[in-house]
Structures are given as structure tokens and as C-alpha cells.
A and B are shown apart, each in its own frame.
Chain A
Amino acid sequence: MAHVETEHLTEERYSMTSKTRNILFAVIGIGLILTIIGIFQVKGAGAEHAAEHAALVSNGHEAGLTAEHHGPSWTARVWANLLLNSWYTLIIAVCGVFFIAVNYAANAGWASGLKRIPESFGAYLPIGLLFILIVIIGGKQDLYHWAHDGIMDPDSPNFDAVLKTKEWFLNPVFYYVVIPGILLAFFLFHRMFRKFSLNEDRIGGVKFFNKSVAWSGPFIFIFAFGFSLCAWMLIMSIDSHWFSTIYSIYNFAISFVAGLAAMTMFALFLKGQGYLSFINKEHIHDLGKFMFAFSIFWTYIWISQYLLIWYANLPEETEYFYKRLDGNGGQFQFQFWLNLFLCFGFPFLGLMTRNAKRNTTWLYIVGTIILVGHWNDVYLMIMPGAVGEMAGLGLLELGMPVFFAGLFIYVVLQAFEKAPTFPLQHPYLQESVHHDVGP
């Protein structure tokens, strides 16, 4: 090239303002208080529910109540909520690591200036792992039917021959060792990419870039299998008898689109605070395109799962959608259709035009809708199976996501503080700075 334009950039560090910090602490506090009030509400409702059943039983309506109806208790709702929110934030955090690895593997440069944002997402992984461990250990009996006593034991009255065939996967080794191990591996990969990135800042050169490229392949490979195992074990096994071969991709689609929405909003927030001055409408436009594209990808996976089950009409498969559409007199029906609107209709029409993808305020709105929509999506994956008729939308369902959102943002911003806001020595930084999608 006859001439090369290079922008002179200097190192820049983010520091959380006390206002941001106070707001985040307030959000975490409000979330926690609402959660605790919610737990007590749920407990009260659970006691009433139990009393009703006792009354019915004493009136002689025993048939179909005592034998079949050992329905989920109120604790199931609390555990299910904890699983929902910890899984949702965890997959968003994992998406950050995956996004970096994909960009390295694809040799993509446009996002290298934004790289520190997804990189910071990884800092949430150990906390996410901790919450998952709490759920795994505490909520086992409440959430997972296959984990009940005697299910795998041919001599027990609870014996279930169908689940016995799945014992090679649904067993304590996978449950207690492999799943946390995979999540730990994700975290270690994150540490490694982070270390390469920081060393690159310190030493420079392309050595660490090449190392990152070399390791991103193995990470994506392990991510593909590990993420699938986690989705099957933690979420799909709630509906123990049912299975779907597209389930892990479905979860991945949620992870990627929600992660991108979060990334976009972090970028907009940091830009609003006066950092990352070289990030302009071009980068925001590309992030918007990603959100748009992966909303459609999610819909494609959703319809692929729904359509095949609807068409084949096999009872053991339709059970899943029966529960979500008509179960308990259509308890989840509204949320089911709302989900399609929030995750597909709104982003599809809302992000279609070019101006929409370049408008900061609008991207905040669509990003929030996408995040709320996919929370509802995960809700629909977990609640009908684990909680059933006891499920609902109360203070607990309001408070816990608020708490997790505050915690996630706080952890990410704190990790973001610890390194320069963009990788100054990244070989593709200039490409990112001059990124241009055309008029």
C-alpha cells in the first residue's frame, strides 16, 4: 500500500465511578431483599398448597392425589430459580470466552479493539461455577427426577426402566465430577487467553497472538462437547424421560445471542462513559448485525425443534410442548408465545434497518428485550418440568435476576478495571480502529 493510516493510541484504563459502584451495590441489595421476601412468599404459598391437599385427602379424595401427586414442593421453585439464573449468567459469561476464541480462529480483526469486554466476561465464570455447584449439591432431589432414590434400582418400587437405560450418563460421576470439571476447564481456558492477552500488552510482538490462535481451536472443540454435556445434564435432564438432539445447540444459540446483547450494551455503556473513543457506529453496527443474525439463528433452532416434534407427534416427545402449552390449563401458554415475540419478532423487525443498528438508545432497548426474552426462554426450559403447577412469576422471579444482573455487571466491570481498556499491542488493533462497513 502506498500509504498506511495509523491512529496513535495511548493506553487507557477504566475505573468504575463511585456512582456506578453505588448503583450496582443498590441493585444487588434490592435483588437480594426481593429474593428473600420472595422465598418467604413462596414458602407461605407452599404451606397453603400442602394444607389444601391434606384437606382433600382427609375428605376421601385420595385416588390420584396421594399416589401420583407427590408434586414439587416450594423448595423446588427456589432451586429452579437459582438454577435458571446461575445457568443463564453462566452461559453469557462463557459466550465471552467463546467470542474471543472464534475471532482468533476466524482471523477476524474488527472486534479486537472491543476484546477486553468479552474477556472480562470470563471473570464471572468461577462465581457461576460456584452457584452451579450449590444447585448441584443442594437442589438435586428437588430438580432432577432421575436422582430420586430407587429410580435406577430394579428392586425398588420407584424403579424406572426408561431412565435405567440412561444411567451411563445420568449418574453421580457425570453429575458431580464431569460437569463441574468442564466448567472449570472453561475458566482455565479463560485464564490462559487472558494471560496471553496481558503478556501481549506487556511484551508485544505476535508470539502471544499466535499462541491464542493455536489454542482457540482446541477451546472451541472442548466448548462444543462440554457445553452440550452441561446443557443435557443441568437443563435437559429435568424432563428426564424426554430428550431432544438439538437441545445443546438451542442452548448455545441462547448463549451467543444473549452474550452478544450483553457485550453490545457493555460497549455502549463504556463508550457513554468516555472510554474506547475509537469505537464508533461501525463497530456498533456490526454488533447489532450479530444480534439480529443470531436472533434469527435462535428462531431457526427453535422452529427445528418444535416443528419436528409437532409433526412426528410421538407422545414421549410432545410431552415437552404439551407441558408448556396446555399443561395445567395453559399456565405457561402466554409466556410460550410471548417468548417467540421477544426473542424473534421484536429483534427481527426492530433491528432490520441500518439506522436501527446504529442507534445507541434503540440498541439498549433491543438488547434489554433480548436479554429479558431469553431469560423467559430459559424459564420455560426449566420451570414446567421442575416446578410444574407451583411455578409462577412473583417477587422471587423478579428479585433473583436483578441480583444476578447486578452481580454479573459488577464482576465484569471490576475485571475490566484490571487491564487497559483495549489491547494496545494486538496486531489487528489498527484494523479494528479503521473498521468501516461502508455507507
Chain B
Amino acid sequence: MANKNKKFIYGIYDDADAVIHTVEKLRSQGVDVHDCYTPFPVHGLDRAMGIKRSNLTIGAFISGTIGCITAIVFQLYVMVGDWPMIIGGKPNWGYFPSFIPVTFELTILFTAFGIGILFFIRARMIHGKVEDLVDLRQTDDLFVVAVEEKEHRFDKEAVNRTLIAEGALEIREREYNK
């Protein structure tokens, strides 16, 4: 039976540029970098890791559209369909301007909430989840490069050598049970 445990090698650095170089070097050697953990966004790191553009913007657009439609439908239902109201002598049907502020605000509200919720789901940051840090200081001043140890065609020694050559402070290994 195949081993379902996942093994990771972590290189810990104290310099953002060294992280970028390590990632570039590893990828040029054909090693997939699993992820990097940094205390702040490092410019150029996502390019170096070859991360594809997030689909979050599409989610934002869809949530915005839902908000826009919700606002229009709700207002039409309330102001025109269910209980027609004339306020300030304005026609309740056929003139749109008074709907615009609510439509505008609800579009923004739905977009903001939608993108926030989708982000938390995508990043698996559910409330109450216990953090699983490689090193506590990765939230302060250290940077972590994580490489998944594969079963086949994986030269652990070479990866270790590269990590050290690029200036890793220490190297750790961990195993996760799926």
C-alpha cells in the first residue's frame, strides 16, 4: 500500500532575497516548491514560484453581479410590485435614478463580502483553526521555503545542498499524516 504520509523539507531563512533565489534555483533544478511562508508580501516571489493568477477576481465579479441583481429585484419587488409607493411625487415605475444608490451600495457590499469569504475559504483560514507554523518567527522576521518530498525522482541531498548553499539558517523535516 502506498504511503499516504506527506513529507516536507523546510529551509528557514532570514532574508527575503535569499528566498527568491532559493526558489529560482530549486525550480531550475526541476524541484517543485510547495509553498513559502513569509511575514510580509515579498515582491517578485509569486513570479519566482510560478504561481498562476488567482481566480478571486472572477469570484468578485460574480458576487458583485449577484449584489447588483439582488438590489434591483428587491427594490422592484418592494417599491413597485408588493406595495407601490409614491415618494416625493416620483413615479415608482419607469424612473430608475432613486434605485441607483442602493444598487451601488449593495453591489459593493456583496463584492466586499464575497471576495472576503472566498479568500478565507481558498486560503483555508477557517475561524478557530489552530495555526500550524513551521517556526513561530515566520510571522515576525523569518522566511520559510517548503519543499514536498516526493517518492520518485527526488534527490533529497541535492535539495538540502541547494537550501544550505543559498544561506538557510536551518533545515527541518516533517511528516504529516493525511
Contact = CB atoms under 8 A, between A and B. Distances in A.
Contact of A307 (B44, B46, B61, B100): B100
A3 B44 CA distance: 14
A354 interface: yes
B131 to A, nearest CB: 25
A310 B15 contact: no
Nearest to A312: B88
Contact of A2 (B18, B47, B51, B97): B18
A354 B52 CA distance: 13
A1 B88 CA distance: 63
Contact of A439 (B47, B90, B97): B47
A439 B51 contact: yes
Given A3-B17, A436-B43, A307 B97 contact: yes
Interface string A344-378: 00000000111000000000000000000000000
Given A307-B100, A439-B52, A1 B46 contact: no
Contacts of A1: 17
B28 interface: no
A352 B51 contact: no
Contacts of A3: 17
Contacts of B43: 436, 438
Interface in B39-56: 43-44, 46-47, 51-53
A322 interface: no
B89 A439 contact: no
Contacts of A354: 53, 57
Nearest to B46: A439
A22 to B, nearest CB: 43
Contacts of A438: 43, 46-47
A335 B177 CA distance: 67
Interface in A275-315: 303, 306-307, 310-311, 313
A19 B52 CA distance: 43
Size range of the interface on A? 10 to 19
B87 to A, nearest CB: 9
Interface in A394-439: 436, 438-439
Size range of the interface on B? 10 to 19
B43 to A, nearest CB: 6
B128 interface: no
B30 interface: no
A307 to B, nearest CB: 5
Contacts of B52: 439
A303 B100 CA distance: 9
B98 interface: yes
Contacts of B97: 303, 306-307, 310-311
A289 to B, nearest CB: 13
A311 B90 contact: yes
Contacts of B89: 313
Contacts of A436: 43-44, 47
Interface in B84-112: 88-90, 97-98, 100-101
Contacts of B101: 307
Nearest to A438: B46
A307 B101 CA distance: 9
A285 to B, nearest CB: 13
Given A303-B100, A306-B97, A439 B88 contact: no
Interface string A4-36: 000000000000000000000000000000000
A2 B15 contact: yes
Contacts of A353: 57
B5 to A, nearest CB: 32
Nearest to B101: A307
A325 to B, nearest CB: 12
B53 A439 contact: yes
Interface in B131-160: none
Contacts of B100: 303, 307
A313 B88 contact: yes
A439 B48 CA distance: 10
A125 B23 CA distance: 51
A439 B90 CA distance: 49
Given A303-B100, A354-B53, A439-B47, A311 B88 contact: yes
Report, nearest first, the 9 A-B pairs whose CB atoms are least far apart: A2-B17, A310-B97, A307-B97, A2-B15, A439-B53, A439-B46, A3-B17, A439-B47, A303-B100
Given A307-B97, A311-B88, A439-B47, 15 more contacts: A1-B17, A2-B15, A303-B97, A303-B100, A306-B97, A307-B98, A307-B101, A311-B98, A353-B57, A354-B57, A438-B43, A438-B47, A439-B46, A439-B51, A439-B53
Interface of B: 15, 17-18, 43-44, 46-47, 51-53, 57, 61, 88-90, 97-98, 100-101
5 contacts: A307-B98, A310-B97, A436-B44, A436-B47, A439-B46
